Structure 1
Amino acid sequence: MIGRRLRTVAVFGVVALGCTACAGAGGPSTVIQQSELVGDWGNDAGARLHVSADHTATADGIDHAAPDYGCATASTAVSWDFLVRTVGESSLSVVRAATEGRYIELGIDAGSGLRGSCDLTAAVQRDDQGLNLCLVVDMDQTCTAEELLRRDRWSVTVSEGSIRTG
């Protein structure tokens, strides 16, 4: 009996360890404020996303952040909105007035005229390196560490006489 219990605990432990790898990279989901989202995001593989306060964005090299993405990998016609759960709703909805969220919808105009056919979702996460965005086609997907977008450490912003990097 003790041997069987020990085997059960051992198998459960191995399954539990295996499932932590299933969670993907980037850490737990977290809320991001609009002021934290605005700016340049990228990864070492070459994916770049510039998010503006007016709910527009530009993207380049998106296939380096979302390998399953089947649309054009560069676009200057991107809109973004927070996806939030509204009172009484079980699903997430785009809410233009939201100023924070755990998920962001990127509406990408791929020239097809079909709104939504090339949209992506950015899951906001936080790990020991800080905030990151995981771009996915399907919200059940996860990212590898190499696919995560992080605040672009190479951008330089000049503001009121001071220079800030990343």
Structure 2
Amino acid sequence: MSTSARRWSALVAALAWACVACADAGGDAARIDQSALTGEWSSPGGARLRLRADRGMTGESLNSAMLGGTSCPDTATGRWSFFSSPDDSGFMFADDTFTSGDAISVRIDDPKDSCLLSVQVRRDEHGLNLCLVEDLDSGCSAEELLRLEPVTPTGQVAK
């Protein structure tokens, strides 16, 4: 094999490995009800998302949980709602009356930039996880997945 062919093969192998490393993680879509969703979710990269039963939310280091970056603020407060199931054309809408779902809309209070943030609910071999996206057709890597933090009997988040 020529030097050029070996370099080309090495480049193709490196790109294939990079694609595997960035592949969607998190498993299959999963429905979750409001009571199971509320709590503090965190990612290995340091992102934290607190979803409250009153539909309020706070987030910190959110950009570390967004594949490829985002126009959304890194620290945010706002409100969340479940999306409807898609109709035949794929259209979905968010509504505060929905009490369960597999996708969530997050409305950021006073965003400085255009920020449309959605959350995919997934289940893998480790349990439920959340994937923050600006486009529901996008995905997350394992580093970006948020998992619910365990709560101690006294109601404190275990660190």
Q: 1:119-134 alignment to 2 at 5 Å? A: 119-134=116-131
Compared with structure 1, are the counterparts of its residues 47 and 128 closer, same or farther at alpha carbon in structure 2 (3 Å cutoff)?
same
Matched, 1:97 2:93: no
How far apart, CA to CA, are the structure 2 residues paired with 1:165 and 1:74? Answer: 22
How far apart, CA to CA, are the structure 2 residues paired with 1:164 and 1:50? Answer: 11
How far apart, CA to CA, are the structure 1 residues paired with 2:108 and 2:83? Answer: 15
How far apart, CA to CA, are the structure 1 residues paired with 2:157 and 2:47? Answer: 21
Compared with structure 1, are the counterparts of its residues 72 and 128 closer, same or farther at alpha carbon in structure 2 (3 Å cutoff)?
same
Q: TM-score, normalised by structure 2?
A: 0.77
How far apart, CA to CA, are the structure 1 residues paired with 2:86 and 2:136? Answer: 18
Matched, 1:158 2:154: yes
Contact 1:26–1:127 (8 Å) recurs in 2: yes
Matched, 1:147 2:144: yes
Matched, 1:73 2:74: yes
Letter aligned with residue 73 of structure 1: D
How far apart, CA to CA, are the structure 2 residues paired with 1:126 and 1:132? Answer: 6
Compared with structure 1, are the counterparts of its residues 144 and 86 closer, same or farther at alpha carbon in structure 2 (3 Å cutoff)?
closer
Compared with structure 1, are the counterparts of its residues 31 and 158 closer, same or farther at alpha carbon in structure 2 (3 Å cutoff)?
same
How far apart, CA to CA, are the structure 2 residues paired with 1:43 and 1:157? Answer: 23
Compared with structure 1, are the counterparts of its residues 111 and 143 closer, same or farther at alpha carbon in structure 2 (3 Å cutoff)?
closer
Letter aligned with residue 37 of structure 1: L
Match of 1:50 in 2: 50
Contact 2:72–2:111 (8 Å) recurs in 1: no
Match of 1:14 in 2: none
Match of 1:106 in 2: 106
Task: Classify the secondary structure of the residue corresponding to 2:143.
Answer: coil
Instruction: Say which structure, 1 or 2, has more relative contact order (CA 8 Å, 6+ apart).
Output: 2
Task: Classify the secondary structure of the residue corresponding to 1:158.
Answer: coil
Shift of 1:140: 1.6
Task: Classify the secondary structure of the residue corresponding to 1:146.
Answer: helix
Shift of 1:59: 0.3
Which structure's residues are more often strand, by fraction?
Answer: 1
